[in-house]
Amino acid sequence: MTFVENVSQKLKALAHPVRLRIVMLLAKEGEDMYLNQIANKLEINRALAKIHLKKLERGNIVKSRIVLLDGEARALRYYSLGDFDIHISPELLKQEAEK
């Protein structure tokens, strides 16, 4: 993936106030959170939280893992922050353009 594709993918993933609030919540909590926990803390419905979490996951901002519950036919998806960092400046853009 090129520099431009990588940065634009991450910026696109973060380009909504709800998604930024999700990222801030995960950073603040510092632990994996279940979809219901995220939705409840942000006072949004589960469907909306799930849509935004999928976009954040596609942008490699969050990651998820599935936990199977013992003795139940259920699986829970937990979300956490991925290891991401975004640096962008006019100088960096100039350097990349000159490559």
- In three-state secondary structure terms, 45 is coil
The CATH code of the domain that includes 10 is 1.10.10.10
The parent domain of residue 80 ranges over: 3-97
Q: How far apart are CA 20 and CA 38, in angstroms?
A: 12
In percent, the amount of the chain with pLDDT more than 90 equals: 70
pLDDT in tens, 48-90: 999 999 999 999 999 999 998 888 778 889 999 999 888 889 9
| Total of domains in the chain | 1
Q: How far apart are CA 22 and CA 88, in angstroms?
A: 22
Look at residues 75, 62, 70 and name the one whose alpha carbon lies nearest to residue 32: 62
